[in-house]
Structure 1
Amino acid sequence: MEISYEDLKVLMGKSQNLLLVDVRTKGEVDKGYIPGSINIPVDTVEDALTMDPEEFKTKYGVNKPPPDAPELVFHCQMGGRGRVATLKAHKLGYVNASNYTGGYKEWSEKEGK
């Protein structure tokens, strides 16, 4: 499942349940990120999503999403790693997980960063 810039903006404006996960490296995130996103590098996504909810909250500062979370969105720089993370999430039962395909590159262009 994929989500566009426009749809993500709408979700960010109306949803209290959106969990936006930036799967880039910490070094990339330090250069800029989408407001409200949390950083879980792509190679740690499976570990994060199989964590105990308390451990997840301690590590990432937000509640672990339930498997049927309606608004779980992954993104990277340009879409590739976000797609990998989304597929991993689907395999773990996160049926509604989606990938913001434009990634931070499109976001920063559209937001004029």
Structure 2
Amino acid sequence: MTTPLTVDQLEPRLGRLTLIDVRSPGEYAAGHIPGALNIPLDRLDHALPALRSAAARSQLAVVCAAGQRALNACARLDEAGITALVVTGGTNAWTDAGRPVERVAGARPVWAMDRQVRLVAGSIVLLGLLADRARPGARWISAAVGGGLVLSALTDSCALGTALGRLPYNRPRPGTPTLDDTLAAIGG
């Protein structure tokens, strides 16, 4: 079972726990909680040995933009026998409370992954419906996206989010710590 941690509870504990940010490197570079280390959700399994080691030394807390990816990460950590706290409301709650974020020099703002998914999925649905006027049957593209969204909700995974995470603007920027840098920092 994952224990929630509010931003008010997190702030005095910064530096005493290991804070893992599971957003894409682009999201992380654009602004993260001070001291947070970036391990993108799609690379979490690779980092399990280092996270197990870090959890033996101090408590782990996991954060993302709003909380869902962090909850997914905590469930995977729990399956691996690693206990972690989840930051309720994520980095959004942190900034909404007026707390500062660190940015990688030169990083541009990047939309949160859930917002990117909504834009792409909505655009494909709309284009499929419009294309159906010129080419009957194109609406099935929209139906396929709708089916993918249903599957995403049922499995609590997102293939579109994983694909978008590989696009250049979501990849690490120069100066952004790599996964290897993060694993070295936590002793992995």
Quote the Cα distance in structure 2 between the aligned partners of 1:19 and 1:102.
18
Quote the Cα distance in structure 2 between the aligned partners of 1:71 and 1:102.
19
Which runs of 5 or more structure 1 residues have no equivalent in the other structure?
57-63
Displacement of 1:30: 1.5
- Per-residue CA deviations over 1:37-63 (Å, capped at 9, x if unaligned) read 00000111121013xx5xx8xxxxxxx
Displacement of 1:33: 0.6
State which structure, 1 or 2, has the greater radius of gyration over its C-alpha atoms. 2
Equivalent position of 2:10 in the other structure: 8
Equivalent position of 1:29 in the other structure: 28
Quote the Cα distance in structure 1 between the aligned partners of 2:30 and 2:11.
21
Quote the Cα distance in structure 2 between the aligned partners of 1:23 and 1:73.
11
**AA of the residue aligned to 2:62:** F
Equivalent position of 2:62 in the other structure: 74
Q: Per residue, is there more helix in 1 or in 2?
A: 2
Quote the Cα distance in structure 2 between the aligned partners of 1:110 and 1:82.
19
How do 1:1-113 and structure 2 match up within 5 A? 1-12=3-14, 16=16, 18-50=17-49, 53=50, 64-66=53-55, 68-95=56-83, 97-112=84-99
Displacement of 1:70: 4.6
Which runs of 5 or more structure 2 residues have no equivalent in the other structure?
101-188
- Per-residue CA deviations over 1:41-94 (Å, capped at 9, x if unaligned) read 0111121013xx5xx8xxxxxxx414x455100010000000000111111111
Displacement of 1:11: 1.1
Q: List structure 1 runs of 4+ shifted beyond 6 angstroms.
A: none
- Give the root-mean-square deviation of aligned CA atoms: 2.1
Quote the Cα distance in structure 2 between the aligned partners of 1:91 and 1:10.
28
Among all aligned residue pairs of Structure 1 and Structure 2, give the percentage whose two residues are the same amino acid: 30
Question: TM-score if structure 2 supplies the norm length?
Answer: 0.48
Q: Per residue, is there more strand in 1 or in 2?
A: 1
**AA of the residue aligned to 1:6:** D
Quote the Cα distance in structure 2 between the aligned partners of 1:46 and 1:69.
19
- The 8 Å contact of residues 69 and 94 in structure 1, kept in 2 or not, is answered as no
User: Which deviates more, 103-112 or 35-44?
Assistant: 103-112
Equivalent position of 1:59 in the other structure: none
